[in-house]
Amino acid sequence: MRVIVIGASAGGVVAYQRLAASLRPNFPCPILIVQHIGAHLTRLVYILRHRGPNYAVAARDGMVPQAATIYVAPSDHHMVISAREIRLNRGLKENHARPAIDPLFRTAALEFGPGVIGVVLTGMLDDGAAGLKAIKDCGGITIVQDPHDAPEPSMPLSTLAKSNVDYMTTINKLAELLEKLVAMPVEDVMVKPLPSLELEHAASVGDNAMQKLKAIGKPSTFSCPDCGGVMFELNEPGPARYRCHPGHAMGLLSLVATQKEVADDALWTALRALQEKEAGLRRLAESTPPALPRHSDLLTEADALASAAATLRALTVGEPRQAQTQAV
Query: Residues with catalytic annotation?
Result: 9, 36, 127
Provide the β-strand partners of residue 31: 4, 70
Cis omega (within 30 of 0) for bond into 193: no
DSSP E strands, 135-257: 141-145, 167-169, 217-223, 230-234, 241-244, 249-251
Contact present, 54 and 70 (Cβ < 8 Å): yes
Q: How far apart are the first and last CA of the chain?
A: 79
How far are the Cα atoms of 290, 296, 297, 308 from residue 284, in angstroms, in the given order?
Answer: 11, 11, 11, 19
CA dihedral sign of residues 66, 72, 73, 74: negative
CA dihedral 159, 106, 180, 23 (to 10 degrees): -90
**DSSP secondary structure, 170-198, as one string:** -HHHHHHHHHHHHTSPPPSSPPPPPHHHH
**Burial class for 309, CB neighbours closer than 10 Å (0-12, 13-18, 19+):** buried
For 46, residues 6+ apart whose C-beta sits below 8 A from its C-beta are 56
CA 38 to CA 103: how far, in whole Å?
15
CA 144 to CA 165: how far, in whole Å?
7
CA dihedral 55, 59, 63, 67 (to 10 degrees): 30
